[in-house]
Chains A and B, each alone.
Chain A
Amino acid sequence: KAGVTQTPRYLIKTRGQQVTLSCSPISGHRSVSWYQQTPGQGLQFLFEYFSETQRNKGNFPGRFSGRQFSNSRSEMNVSTLELGDSALYLCASSPGTEFYIQYFGAGTRLSVL
């Protein structure tokens, strides 16, 4: 079974631009969560989608948004990029069993110049 796939692996953008990151969960998984990892703040929860509905959202500004498609693939969008958005963005999928185990992708490294 293929793991969680995130594309692209690396991105370089300039301030003010917008970016879209993609995540394909493990086949059969219906929950997709997004996290931001920075050296200073560590791993922080962005949002979680289940069956195309956002169920939970972390404490991030509205510039961060996401969506989930009917095939469970998810995208995350960041508009009006700031230097502080430079981070590793990780996606996790879960089968939706009662144990809530999470499986992570390799991440997308975003650099904002």
Chain B
Amino acid sequence: KQEVTQIPAALSVPEGENLVLNCSFTDSAIYNLQWFRQDPGKGLTSLLLIQSSQREQTSGRLNASLDKSSGRSTLYIAASQPGDSATYLCAASGAGSYQLTFGKGTKLSVIP
């Protein structure tokens, strides 16, 4: 059974700082890994999806990496802004399945 862990549960940084969010998973036989953002009381916004054959994906100030052998993924946010404050969730899916297994998220606060 896949288990996904995100550490830390909460993170507070000053505006402008670069930061890394961590995600680990127990079953390396994943098909892809997806990073989401969730604002309070809202749904999930997809940020990046990394296929199992890829090592990283980039979108603007965001860069996500995937290391299947070690069961880890990281989300790098460059030059953080107050608008980046949200909960960030990672989720893994297995081959042939739309079922996502989520971590519990990292709540990010960017202080102006």
Contact = CB atoms under 8 A, between A and B. Distances in A.
B41 to A, nearest CB: 7
A101 B102 contact: no
Nearest to A55: B98
User: A interface, how many residues as a size bin?
Assistant: 20 to 34
A44 B97 CA distance: 15
B101 A104 contact: no
B31 A104 contact: no
A50 B93 CA distance: 16
A43 B89 contact: yes
Contacts of B31: 100
B58 interface: no
A42 B101 CA distance: 10
A106 B43 contact: yes
B45 A104 contact: yes
User: B interface, how many residues as a size bin?
Assistant: 20 to 34
Contacts of A90: 43-44
B105 A42 contact: yes
Interface of B: 31-32, 34, 36, 41-46, 49, 51, 89, 91, 93, 97-105
27 contacts: A4-B43, A6-B43, A33-B98, A33-B100, A42-B102, A42-B103, A42-B104, A42-B105, A43-B102, A45-B99, A45-B101, A90-B43, A92-B100, A94-B98, A99-B49, A99-B51, A100-B32, A100-B97, A101-B32, A102-B34, A102-B91, A102-B100, A103-B46, A104-B43, A104-B46, A105-B43, A107-B43
Interface of A: 4, 6, 31, 33, 35, 42-45, 48, 50, 55-56, 58, 88, 90, 92, 94, 99-107, 109
